[in-house]
Amino acid sequence: MKRLYLHVYLTIVASLVLVVAVAAGVWEIVDDDPPTGQFALVASEFVGIALGPAESAPAAQQAVVTRLAERLAIDLTLYDDARNRIAHAGKPLPPPRVGKTASGWQRDLIEPVWALRLSDGRWLMARPLRRERASKFGGVVAVLGGIAFAVALAAFPLARRITRRIERLQAGVESLGAGDLTARIAVKGRDEVSKLAASFNRAAARIEELVKAHKLLLANASHELRTPLTRLRMGIELAAAPIAPARKAALDADIAELDRLIDEILLASRLDAVAGLDVEETVDLLALAAEECARYPGCALDGAPAAVRGDPALLRRLLRNLIENAQRHGVPPVEVRIDRRDSEVEIAVADHGPGVPAADRERVFEPFFRTAASGVAGAGLGLALVRQIATRHGGAARCAPTPERASRFVATLPVLPAPAR
């Protein structure tokens, strides 16, 4: 059972059933407090006179017991002082317990029996007929059962109301955990659940503020870094003193690397900050891949035309990052393949390198993560952007090696349905 309201409700119902059972059992034992003291003494005298002396013939005593049982509608059994049965009417009743010396209930029996001690030592055991006791017992159980049923009906909405608020709180937590920083919970009441909902709303608001501030700082810092980079590039170009070609090439490479890093940080920040796509067009992935493959030597393309809906610039970046990752970390030649599979199109980029260790195949998509064996410079954002772009388009990205190609990455995107003829 996984629902809290069912736990609460069934606990209430079980408690009611237990109350009914205990009440019925107590009634069964102590129903109709028996006569005691002087009244029991008077009853024993009258019964002794009706039965006659203990030396009377058993048949005569049997006749009296039978007549009394019929008049009083009870089971009766007569025992002598040695607890030997003399006569009975109805169902035979057990003798009094050993050690019992006075009139009273024998409460240790399943069916309580009244033991009447006569003055001559005989015992008369009496018990109401089962049908009358069952009638009274059934009536009490029916009343208690009706009360339990009414309380159970009234308790269900109460239990459901309590746990429904907890379910709303759970839904809010799951929404926040899924990335919806605007998730809030309606605060109703003044109890612990409402206080918990208010605390969640305050925490969610604080998290949203921190994340927004982080994204804003990241975006502003990236923009600010572009200015000194531009001045540095212009300063190198306008420097009066000649710079060695090797040194200038190294500086140009460093600046290009820094510029690419800032561009990737900007793009990652924008993808985090914006929910949808800025541009959505029909894109032929095979044509787009052909343009990108032409920019890299030793990059082969194969596949079939496949149209998707998306942002051409982002899809171009996805392809470029996959190819550059293969060029930088793999072994040429690089092979790009576009395949349409049912409702999605698969972009596979493979090379002849050893591939990514199994333990790192998921972590390579984390920002700034590099495998220990890569030994190649890079920002570590390329594959992270690939997954972000694929996810933004309703697809996915993964490391998918095959027996033929250990180094192989695949991105899948929803395919555009073919036009009806």
Query: What's the pLDDT band for 35 if we cut at 50, 70, 90?
Result: very low
Dig out the tokens for 141 from the structure.
């159980």
Average pLDDT for 181-201: 82
Average pLDDT for 133-160: 67
Dist CA 99 CA 269 (whole Å): 92
All structural domains of the chain: 32-128 (3.30.450), 192-273 (1.10.287.130), 281-414 (3.30.565.10)
Helix, strand, coil percent values for the chain (each to nearest 5): 55, 15, 30
Dist CA 17 CA 8 (whole Å): 15
Q: What is the phi/psi pair of residue 288, to 5°?
A: -65, -40
- Percent of the chain residues past pLDDT 70, beyond the cut: 79
Residue 125 has pLDDT above 50, yes or no: yes
Average pLDDT for 181-194: 80
Burial class (CB in 10 A: 0-12, 13-18, 19+), 413: buried
Looking at residue 400, its pLDDT comes to 93
Average pLDDT for 212-240: 69
Mean pLDDT of the chain: 79
Average pLDDT for 275-300: 89
Q: If we measure between CA atoms, which residue out of 141, 151, 211 comes closest to residue 9? A: 151
Do the Cβ atoms of 153 and 181 come closer than 8 Å?
Answer: no
Q: If we measure between CA atoms, which residue out of 40, 24, 29 comes closest to residue 108? A: 29
Do the Cβ atoms of 86 and 124 come closer than 8 Å?
Answer: no
Concatenated DSSP letters of 155-202 = HHHHHHHHHHHHHHHHHHHHHHHTT-TT------SSSHHHHHHHHHHH
Residue 271 has pLDDT above 90, yes or no: no
Residue 130 has pLDDT above 50, yes or no: yes
Average pLDDT for 338-343: 89
Looking at residue 334, its pLDDT comes to 94
Average pLDDT for 311-337: 92
3-state SS string over 324-367? HHHHHHCCCCEEEEEEEECCEEEEEEEECCCCCCHHHCCHHHCC
User: 389-418, pLDDT tens digit by residue?
Assistant: 999 999 999 999 999 999 999 999 998 765
Residue 131 has pLDDT above 50, yes or no: no
Looking at residue 275, its pLDDT comes to 66
Q: How far is CA 187 from CA 8, 73, 193, 409, in A?
A: 22, 66, 9, 47
Dist CA 319 CA 336 (whole Å): 9
Mean pLDDT is lowest, of 82-91, 257-266, 373-382, for 373-382
Only one residue has tokens 């049997």, namely: 62
Strand partners, 114: 105, 126
Looking at residue 111, its pLDDT comes to 65
pTM exceeds cut of 0.85: no
